Every structure is written in C-alpha cells, then in structure tokens.
Amino acid sequence: MALIVQKYGGTSVGNVERIRNVAIRVAQTKKKGHKVVVAVSAMSGETNKLVSLANQMKEFPIGREYDVVVSTGEQVTIGLLALALQDLGCGAKSFLGSQVPIITDSAFSRARIEEIETAGILSELKRGNIVVVAGFQGVDRDGNITTLGRGGSDTTAVALAAALKADVCEIYTDVEGVYTTDPNICPDARKLKKVSYDEMLEMASLGAKVLQTRSVEFAKKYNVPVMVKSSFTDAEGTLVTKEDKDMEKVIVSGVTYNKDEAKITVAKVPDRPGIAAKLFAPLTKANINVDMIVQNVSHDGHTDLTFTVSKADFKKALQLVEKTAKEMKAGKVLSDTNIAKVSIVGAGMRSHAGVASKMFETLSKENVNIQMISTSEIKISAVVDAKYTELAVRALHDAFGLGKGDVEEER
Ligand code: ASP
Ligand code: MG
C-alpha cells in the first residue's frame, strides 16, 4: 500500500465528462489499496479567462485582488471532482489551498510555498477518504489568498508529495511524457523513459511546458520521484529522478525553445562599478526576473547591456529601465519582442567537449544568426529571431541524433 499524489492538468479536467474519467482513474488507484491525494488545475482556458478579466479592470492588476480572481478556477474543479468521486461511491473531500493550509510567502501571482500543514489531509486519508486539493493556490501568513505562478498546480502536487512523504507524484497531462523536443515541431521527437532532475529543471525553465520549473526544484530538493504520463492513454510515461550513469552517456537529451521572452538593450551605459546593480535593482523590487544578461566590452567608458525578461513582465520592465537609464545618463533603450531562445540540454555535457561548437555550426549552416548565448554545466542557449525557431529546433534535434531513427542508447 502506497501513498500516491496525482495531479491532473487543465485539459484532463476540461469538461464534465473528462472530470468523470479522472474520477474513474483516481477511484481505481484507491481500489488497489493506495491512499490518494489529488491536485487539480482549473478547466483548460479558465485561468486565461480570469487573467483577462483582471486585466480589463486595471492596468498592472497584479496584487492581492488579482490572486483572489485568478485562483477561482481551481475551486470549481476540486468541487466537481469530489462530487464525481462521491458519485462513484468513494469518500472524497475537497480542500482549497487555504483550507489545507498551504502556506506561502506574499509574492502575489508568484508566491512560494513555505510550509504545508499535513494534519488535516492525513486525518481524511486515515478515514479512508480521497483528498482533492486545489492546485496553484495557497495562503500567506496574514490570511491572503496567493497563487503560485502559471502552471503552479504541478508545484502544488510535488510539494504535497514532499510534505506527505508520498511514494510517488504522478503528473497526468495531455502528452505521454517528456520528449526530446516538441513533437509538434519535430514529428521525429522521442519520448524519454527517464530524465534527471537537473535536466528536467533546465528543460522546464527553457520552455518545455510539461512541468512548472518550481515543481522540479521541489522534487529535486526532497527527492520526490515524479512520473509524467497521459491521462488519456495507459502508455508508460517519463520518470523524473536522480541522475545515474546511463544519463551521463547521452550528451544531449533534449532541445527546447521559448518564445515567451523579450529583449531589452540599454546602449551607452557609463561603465563604472555599480551600474548593473542600479539598473537591475528596480526590476528585483518589482519582482521581475531577468534571465540572460550580456554586457559588452566598453568603448570610451561606455558599454551596452542587453538582457531578457518574460513577455508578461516586458511592459513594466521597459518602463522601469527607461527611467533608470535616464537617471544614469545612458543612451537609448532598445527592445525586441520577436525573439526565441533555443536550447540544448543534457547531463552528458558535463563530461563531453565540443558541444557548443557543434550547436553554433549547426545554426550557422542554417544561416540562423545568434543574438545572445548563455550556458550552464548542462545546457547551452542561443537567442535567435523568433521566425527561425522551428528551423533551429529541427536542425539541432537532427544534428545531435535525437530522432527515433538515430538512437543507440535507449533511455
Ligand atoms: N490553472 C493554473 C494555470 O493555468 C495553474 C495550472 O494549471 O497549473 O496556470
Ligand atoms: Mg501545466
């Protein structure tokens, strides 16, 4: 008998019939003798609708009331799923984030989970009930409702699994697992049997939409085995787990892309100590994450600084940077929202040389210009013009032999 946390995403609970199907799956797991906690997202499209409503009410609506609005989609699905389970004869009880409670900090729209009180859930499980928890939401220490960032239900599920010391966290979604790249771009893409936490972390933050980045951070920190699988088929999924020897043999295990970023360049920044701090401080204060940063060598005491932020933060970031640039007596502020970040990821990069040059050669052969580059131990990213995204992804997938036809090492 195991304790299993299952998470069902928006498409899996997209209508009444699908919620019934989810209930059947959950009930089957319970019938096998397991204790089951389920985290669910809002019905697909609902959160987008709520975000759009908030945006129609106020410019820059992010704050306490924004979270009150956008968290409501999940309240509907937990209630419906609990009803469906009861209809199947299962004891089931729904919990809002604040009822668990899932305690977070107060960073509205991107709150971090600080603590989960498990007593309430545990006593329901003891009574033989299935517990259904609203994904994506929590409550801060002052009782304000918070949300965990888009895609946050994954994080709810993994955090619950960690707090409850569950045997596994199963993430049910509309794809069958983690692929070498987006199958919509490369029909040749292959499903991976397993990926390491670090690879998954890179893939998630680089644009593979299958898991929210923070959920993988949690999984890694608390060593939670995460199984990503389809809620529509019985196909074997992808296991996200600790790195092992097999994984190191494969140099590149995935190609990702992200079109959700925008680029800002501040020209002719006076080159002296403290300028970067001054430029980025207002962004930090506004809770805006800066991703890639490039600073050029200086000419005549001036340098150019280029960085990327998510498109959602772009308008606000540009306003803040224009203000600081003026104060610093810097030059023009330029921006470009037509960019894409294309990346290759693989645990094997740690121990293999020449990966970067192969990536750059591949892009140059396709005549794709690279605007920015960043690397970590296990990934290399290049910013390119958005119109070359598909071309770049296919070329890299091919060059690193990731297609179905090319595998030697089943993984
Ligand atoms: N419903 C939320 C969203 O769309 C959370 C989630 O689906 O994970 O971002
Ligand atoms: Mg999701």
> pLDDT of 297-322, one tens digit each?
888 899 999 999 999 999 999 999 99
Residue 180 lies in a domain: no
Same domain, 257 and 143: no
Q: Looking at ligand 1, which atom is closest to the CA of residue 10?
A: 7
Residue 224 lies in a domain: no
The residue from 174, 199, 219 where one domain ends is 174
The residue from 120, 152, 174 where one domain ends is 174
Query: Given this model, what pLDDT does residue 60 score?
Result: 87
Residue 282 lies in a domain: yes
Same domain, 261 and 388: yes
Same domain, 169 and 277: no
Same domain, 254 and 134: no
Mutate-to-test residue for ligand 1 from 50, 136, 212, highest number of ligand atoms within 8 A of CB: 136
41 touches ligand 1 (CB under 6 Å)? yes
Residues 340, 385 contacting (CB under 8 angstroms): yes
Q: Looking at ligand 1, which atom is closest to the CA of residue 156?
A: 8
147 touches ligand 1 (CB under 6 Å)? no
CATH number at residue 383: 3.30.2130.10
What is the pLDDT averaged over residues 22-39? Answer: 98
Confidence of residue 406 (pLDDT cuts 50, 70, 90): low
> pLDDT of 51-85, one tens digit each?
999 999 999 899 999 999 999 999 999 999 999 99
Half-sphere exposure of 71 (CA within 13 A, CB side): 28
151 touches ligand 1 (CB under 6 Å)? yes
| 36 closest CA partner among 44, 25, 50, 48 | 25
SS3 90: coil
136 touches ligand 1 (CB under 6 Å)? yes
The average confidence (pLDDT) of the chain is 95
Same domain, 19 and 123: yes
Q: Looking at ligand 1, which atom is closest to the CA of residue 48?
A: 4
73 touches ligand 1 (CB under 6 Å)? yes
Total number of domains in the chain: 2
Residue 227 lies in a domain: no
> pLDDT of 126-183, one tens digit each?
999 999 999 999 999 999 999 999 999 999 999 999 999 999 999 999 899 999 999 9
CATH number at residue 101: 3.40.1160.10
Residues 304, 267 contacting (CB under 8 angstroms): yes
Nearest CA to ligand 1 atom 9: 150
Q: Looking at ligand 1, which atom is closest to the CA of residue 41?
A: 7
Residue 96 lies in a domain: yes
For residue 212, the CA-to-ligand 2 centroid distance in Å is 7
152 touches ligand 1 (CB under 6 Å)? yes
Domain residues for 167?
3-174
For residue 153, the CA-to-ligand 2 centroid distance in Å is 7
What phi, psi does 51 have (nearest 5°)? -60, -40
Same domain, 256 and 378: yes
Residue 208 lies in a domain: no
CA-CA-CA-CA dihedral for 346, 350, 355, 360, to nearest 10: 80
Query: Given this model, what pLDDT does residue 249 score?
Result: 84
Same domain, 18 and 167: yes
Cα separation, 97 vs 116, whole angstroms: 9
Helix axes 311-327, 275-285, angle to 10 degrees: 140
For residue 256, the CA-to-ligand 1 centroid distance in Å is 21
For residue 154, the CA-to-ligand 2 centroid distance in Å is 7
Query: Given this model, what pLDDT does residue 248 score?
Result: 81
Residue 157 lies in a domain: yes
Query: Given this model, what pLDDT does residue 287 score?
Result: 87
The residue from 116, 139, 174 where one domain ends is 174
> pLDDT of 181-225, one tens digit each?
999 999 999 999 999 999 999 999 887 889 999 999 999 999 999
Query: Given this model, what pLDDT does residue 177 score?
Result: 94
Same domain, 390 and 267: yes
> pLDDT of 217-256, one tens digit each?
999 999 999 999 999 999 999 999 999 988 888 889 999 9
> What tokens appear for 247 in the block?
């994984």
Residue 237 lies in a domain: no
